[in-house]
Structure 1
Amino acid sequence: MNAHILLEDGTVLTGKAFGDTKTVLGEIVFNTSMTGYQETLTDPSYAGQIVVMTYPLIGNYGINEKDVESDKVQVSGFIVKENAKFESNWMSQGNLSDYLKEQGVFAVSDVDTRMLTKKIRNQGTMKCLLTTEEITDNLKEQLKHYSFPTNTVEQVSTREIKHIAGEGKHIGIVDLGLKRGISHHIEALGCSLTIFPWDTTYEKLLSYDLDAVLFSNGPGDPKDAKYAIHTAEQLIGKIPLFGICLGQQILALALGGDTYKLKFGHRGGNHPVLDLRTNKVMITAQNHGYAINSNKVTKDIEITHINVNDLTVEGFCNKQLNVYGVQFHPEAGPGPSDANVIFKQWMSLLDEEGDNA
C-alpha cells in the first residue's frame, strides 16, 4: 500500500506504508543513530513527533522486550529508507512491522531519507502528515492548522507514585517523560528511587525524606511545563537538584535563565560534548529540540559543558545551591559509554554534602 508524506512546505513524498495506516500529524525530526531504533520508538521525549531514521536499514535485528524505554511506542510516525524484511538477532522476539501495527503507529519506507534529512536540516523541523489517502485540499488544511500539543509532558508522565527499593541514597525523580535507562542506571548504583508524576507539589516531594530530586527528560517546549518550573523554583536551595535534557532546561528556567528552539535539534548517538572543567570530550546520545540560551544565563548558572559541533549549552551547575544539569543522556551507551560517569559524579556530590553536614 502506498503512503504519502506531506510537509508544511508543500513537499509530497510517496513510499510504502507499514505498521498502522491511519492518517497522523506531528513534527518531523531526524535521528542519526545507526542502532537503537526500538529505544528511539519508545522514548517519551519523541511524543508527538514523526521520526526519520538516517541509517538506511531499520528493523534488521528485530524487536525485544528489553530494549524499551517506556511501556509503549511514543512516536506519532516513523519513516525509514528500508524496512528489513527479515530480522536476525539472538534477542529478537518479533519484527518491526508487526510491532508498529500492534502499537498503532504509522510507518513509511522506500523514500529518500537522505533528501528528507537534508530538507529538515536546511529548513528546520516542520509540521508533517502521513496518510494512505490521496493528498487533498482537506488534508492540506488539516496540516496547516495543526499545532504541536502543549501538554505532552502530562501525556507521558506516570500517573502514580512508584518506589524502587535500594540500600543507598534516596533519589526522587519528577517524571516528565522518564526513560527507563535513567532509572536503571541510578538503581544500579544502589540508590532507592521514588518516581513522581510531573505535577507533584514541592511540599509532597520534600515530605519524602529524599537525598536529591532529579527532573527527567521529556517532550516538548520546556516553557510549556510551567508547573514543573514552579516546583523547581520552590525546591532550589532546599534540596540538591539534578536535571537531564528537558529537566536541565526546567532547572535553568527556574534559575532565571532562558531557552529557545533549535533549528533541527540534536537527535542521535554521536554528539561530542566538551567538559569545560576537565577539557575532555565525551561522545554522547542526545534527543532534544530546545536548548539553554547561553546569551541569557544568569549569575546563578555556571556553564560546565558545551556541544563541540555548535557550541550550545550541554551542562551547567550552581554549586552553592546544589543544582546540576546536563542536556545529553548520560544513561545511553550507543557504543561509547563516556557519559555514564555523570551519575557517579552526582552521587559523589551527595556523599560530599553528607560529609560536610
Structure 2
Amino acid sequence: MVNRFVLNAISYHGKGAISEIPGIIQAKGFKKAFIATDPDLVKFGVSKKVTDLLDAAGLDYEVYSDIKPNPTIANVKNGVEAYKKSGADYMITIGGGSSMDTGKAIGIIINNPEFEDVRSLEGVAPTKNPTVFTIAVPTTAGTAAEATINYVITDEEKKRKFVCVDVNDIPNIAVVDPDMMSSMPKGLTAATGMDALTHAIEGYTTAAAWELADCLNLEAIKLISKNLRKAVENDPDGREGMALGQFVTGMAFSNVGLGIAHSMAHTLGAVYNTPHGVACAMFLPIVMEYNQEATGDKYKYIAEAMDVDTTGMSQEEYRKAAIEAVRKLSKDVGIPEKLDALKEEDLDFLAESAYADACRPGNPKETSVEDMKELFRKLM
C-alpha cells in the first residue's frame, strides 16, 4: 500500500513568528497582498498586527473581510471578484478556519477558473494548478487549516456544508505565532482546542491511519491535553503548546482523514450555525463510545497521552478511561453536553446529510443513517 503525505513547503513557529512575513514577501518579489480575514479580527485589531508589519516595510495590500464564521458560497464568489479587481499577486490569510477556508477556495478558483462554480470543488476536485501563493497566519489553535489540504464551505441554499479535499490548496507558508492567538476569548479557545483534539483522536483512529500520522496525532493529543486548560486561562505557555499541538495534528489528519464526529458537526453547523468546535466537542465522547470496538488497543494510548495510568486495566477499562478523560477535559473548559436547538423533526435530514459527508467513510466503524440518528439524539 502506498501512503501519501502532503505538507507546507515552509512553516514558522513561536512567539514573534509573524515578523518573518515582510522578509518572505520581499525575497519572493511580490507586489500586492490580498488579505483574507474576518471582520471581527479587523475590528479588534488582530489583523493589524500583520498589516502594521507590511506598512512598516512599505508593502502594498488590500483587505477582504466579507467572511462569515461558517463561510458561504457567496463569501467565496465575492472574494474571487475582489481578488480579480485588487491587482494582488499573492494572498495572506489571517484567522481561524473560516478565513483560511475562504482563502483556499478563492485561490483555487483564481488559478483554476474552470471551477468557478464553488459547488464543483466538493469532494476531491481534479484541479490542475496550485492555489495562488499563500501565507497562512492562524489566530485560533484548532482548525489547523494553515497545514491541511481540506476546506469546508457552507451551502446556505441547501443547508449543508461540503468538504473539499485538494492537494493544490495547501498554503505555501504557515506562520504559527501564539501571540496572534492571545486575544481569543475563553469560549473560542475552548471550542477550537476541542476541535483540535477531535482532529487528533479521529485522525489516530480513522480507517486510513498509519504509523507516520499516528506518531504525530499521539503527540498532538499529549500537547492538547496538557495545554488546553491553561490556554483557556490565557496562560502564555498554554497558548504556545496549543499552537503547536493543533498544527501537529493538522499535518497528520490532513493526510489520513477524520470520522463521523466531524460529519455530524458539519451538519449541525449548516443547519443551526453551531460553532464547529463546540459541535465536535459534544460529539467526540459519544462517537468514541460508538467506535470503541473497532479501535483495537488505540484507546489505551489515547488514555495514556491524556495522563491516565492504565497499568492493570482491561481493554474495557482503558477504553472507558480514554472516553472519560475526553469528557472531563471538555467539561473543564466549559463545553455544553446538550444542544437545545436540536429538534426531533430535523433528525432525518441531519442524519442523511452527515452520512453523505466526506468525513464519514474514514470512520473506523461502519455506520448507517439510522445509527447517526441515534447519535444525534444523544445531544437532545
TM-score bucket (shorter structure): under 0.3
Structure with greater proportional helix content: 2
TM-score by length of 1: 0.27
TM-score by length of 2: 0.26
